[in-house]
């Protein structure tokens, strides 16, 4: 599996917006898609950690922020593995496809739906809140990080 990054989180959110548009669940002007993605990222992005986020939090816990360390050699140390275990236990209990959800996927999809219903960038929403939330959960579960650069 590909290591996830903050950019992968943005790609997940972009995929959700695009798929909902393709499924005729929402309608928005094409030029508004990036604004929608940016606003949703600001809203729910902090609730979704990536492998990159866990790595950074592990380095913070270890107390070593030296970016020149060879990652392969560093990950072999007992200190790093122990710290990663602590960080993963704290932040990564709800993991799916390299994403670590700090709230349930259902809670995140509900916030996403609330945004879509109120956004000035979205022209229309055709599904009910429950239908939309279910579609978002399905898209998140099927998202394949290997297809993202």
Contact assessment for residue 135 and residue 25, using Cβ atoms and an 8 Å cutoff:
yes
Which tokens sit at 55?
A: 């790595």
- Whether 1 is covered by a domain: the verdict is no
pLDDT tier at 132, thresholds 50, 70, 90: very high
When divided into structural domains, the chain yields a total of 1
Contact yes or no for 1/97 (Cβ under 8 A): yes
Residue 58 has what pLDDT? Answer: 81
Structure tokens at 19: 């798929």
Compute CA distances 106 → 41, 86, 110, whole Å: 16, 25, 6
Residue 65 domain flag: yes
| 68-114 confidence digits (pLDDT tens) | 444 545 545 777 777 777 777 777 678 888 899 999 999 999 999 99
| Domain membership flag for residue 59 | yes
As a residue count, the chain comes to 149
Provide the residue range defining the domain that includes 123.
6-147
pLDDT the model gives residue 69:
47
Is position 141 within any domain? yes
Whether residue 145 contacts residue 1, with contact meaning beta carbons closer than 8 Å, is answered with: yes
pTM value?
A: 0.82
Tell me which of 84 and 9 has the higher pLDDT. Answer: 9
Q: What is the pLDDT of residues 18-68, one digit of tens each?
A: 999 999 999 999 999 999 999 999 999 999 999 898 888 888 777 754 444
Report whether pLDDT(147) > 70.
no
């Amino acid at each position: 599996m590909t290591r996830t990054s903050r950019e992968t989180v943005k790609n997940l959110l972009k995929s959700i917006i695009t798929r909902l548009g393709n499924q005729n669940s929402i309608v928005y002007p094409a030029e508004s898609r990036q604004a929608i993605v940016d606003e949703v990222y600001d809203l729910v992005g902090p609730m979704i950690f990536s492998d990159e986020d866990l790595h950074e939090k592990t380095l913070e816990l270890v107390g070593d922020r030296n970016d020149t360390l060879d990652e392969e050699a560093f990950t072999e140390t007992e200190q790093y593995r122990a710290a990663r275990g602590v960080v993963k236990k704290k932040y990564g209990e709800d993991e799916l496809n390299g994403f670590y959800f700090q709230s349930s996927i259902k809670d995140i999809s509900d916030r996403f739906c609330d945004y879509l219903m109120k956004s000035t960038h979205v022209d229309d929403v055709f599904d009910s809140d429950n239908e939309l939330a279910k579609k978002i959960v399905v898209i998140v579960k099927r998202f394949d990080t290997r297809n993202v650069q």
